[in-house]
């Protein structure tokens, strides 16, 4: 948890940040290069599968007997990323919850704008339920856009009359595509990765003319009543800080059990940098305890 670790990671991320004005193809290429350079741990097995007709990456950890299921949504502002690239971080959630993880390869914009991702996410959850997995044995988890998508899927599932999973874990959720949070501007200098200028073109890619304030696009504006317990983790050095804070406020106002953890001095989805940053591992350990307690409570 040293300042030196934080400064080293900040420098690395600033070197690898996307240039403002770069195209979707260029950003996808850069992200593939970054993720391909980070091999999965030796005890993690990732294989292709489908859920409800949607491609997923099924992730298991050797030696962990999976008694539960995590439905995991990767980040990438709804335009970048894929299920396999998130397998390393997703496996850390599975490791701590004795769970098999299904990382969802939801369709991406601009080729497939809203509601493609939302539809795919709901289809995978419906498939888990149809496969006979009890809602009390299912967790949602996601980072960045995947955190927002996890909340949207909870809302969507509730509105479709489906039983909801036992809890959800949201890492730096991207929950307001109107970009109205004050931290979009006030944290610009501190955030080594994201900015309003980088996000605005990708918002247009995803919304494709739809109102960005729709609840299933920006769940900070959704009715969150009836949702299961939420754990929201965010760093103080990110432009999406206010997305997490306002999402937690909305959940609390709707009588949802919500825990918000703001870790000072760390960047967007800092949990992904556990090998470089002690705070990442510590946050994942806290999340594991939170989620395991909800699973235990559901089993009781």
Three-state SS for the chain is CCHHHHHHHHHHHHHHCCCCCCCHHHHHHHHHHHHHCCCCCCCEEEEEEEECCEEEEEEEECCCCCCEEEEEECCCCCCCCCCHHHHHHHHHHHHHHCEEEEEECCCCCCCCCCCHHHHHHHHHHHHHHHCCCCHHHEEEEEECHHHHHHHHHHHHHHHCCCCCCCEEEEECCCCCCCCCCCHHHHCCCCCCCCCHHHHHHHHHHHHCCCCCCCCCCCHHHCCCCCCCCEEEEEECCCCCHHHHHHHHHHHHHCCCCEEEEEECCCCCCHHHHCCCCHHHHHHHHHHHHHHHHHHHHHHC
Told to judge if 65 belongs to the known catalytic residues of this protein, a careful annotator would answer no
Out of 68, 74, 237, 268, which one is annotated catalytic?
A: 268
Rounded distance, CA 155 to CA 99, Å?
23
pLDDT of residue 38: 82
Told to judge if 74 belongs to the known catalytic residues of this protein, a careful annotator would answer no
DSSP β-ladder status, 54-61 and 99-104: antiparallel
CB-based contact 279:266 (threshold 8 Å): yes
Question: Residue ranges of the domains in the chain?
Answer: 3-299
pLDDT of residue 36: 77
Tell me if the domain spanning 3-299 has CATH number 1.10.3720.10: no
- Structure-token pair, residue 153: 């899927």
Out of 58, 68, 136, 238, which one is annotated catalytic?
A: 238
Out of 85, 144, 183, 218, which one is annotated catalytic?
A: 144
- Structure-token pair, residue 102: 């299904």
Question: Which of the residues in the chain have pLDDT under 70?
Answer: 1, 297-300
pLDDT of residue 299: 52
Q: What b/e sequence results for 287-300 when a residue is b if at least 16 CB atoms lie within 10 Å of its CB, and e otherwise?
A: bbebbbebbeebee
Told to judge if 144 belongs to the known catalytic residues of this protein, a careful annotator would answer yes
Give CA 85 to chain center in angstroms. 13
Q: Which residue has 């493609």 as its token pair?
A: 116
pLDDT of residue 94: 97
């Amino acid at each position: 948890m040293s300042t030196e670790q934080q400064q080293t990671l900040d420098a690395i991320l600033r070197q690898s940040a996307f240039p403002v004005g770069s195209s979707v193809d260029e950003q996808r290429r850069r992200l593939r290069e970054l993720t391909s350079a980070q091999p999965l741990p030796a005890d993690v097995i990732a294989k292709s599968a489908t859920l409800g007709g949607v491609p997923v990456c099924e992730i298991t950890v050797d030696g962990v007997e999976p008694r539960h299921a995590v439905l995991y949504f990767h980040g990438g502002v709804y335009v970048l990323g894929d299920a396999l690239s998130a397998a390393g971080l997703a496996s850390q959630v599975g490791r701590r919850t004795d769970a098999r993880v299904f990382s969802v390869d939801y369709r991406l914009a601009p080729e497939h704008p809203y509601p493609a991702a939302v539809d795919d996410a709901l289809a995978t959850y419906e498939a888990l339920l149809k496969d006979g997995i009890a809602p009390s044995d299912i967790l949602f988890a996601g980072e960045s856009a995947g955190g927002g998508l996890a909340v949207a899927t909870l809302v969507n599932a509730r509105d479709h009359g489906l039983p909801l999973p036992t809890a959800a874990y949201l890492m730096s959720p991207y929950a307001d595509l109107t970009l109205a949070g004050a931290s979009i501007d006030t944290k610009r200098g501190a955030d080594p990765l994201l900015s309003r200028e980088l996000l605005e073109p990708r918002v247009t890619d995803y919304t494709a003319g739809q109102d960005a304030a729709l609840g299933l696009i920006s769940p900070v504006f959704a009715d969150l009543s009836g949702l299961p317990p939420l754990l929201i983790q965010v760093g103080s050095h990110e432009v999406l800080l206010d997305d997490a804070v306002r999402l937690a406020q909305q959940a609390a106002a709707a009588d949802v059990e919500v825990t918000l953890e703001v870790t000072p001095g760390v960047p967007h989805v800092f949990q992904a940098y556990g090998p470089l940053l002690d705070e990442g591992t510590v946050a994942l350990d806290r999340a594991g305890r939170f989620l395991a307690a909800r699973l235990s409570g559901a089993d009781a």
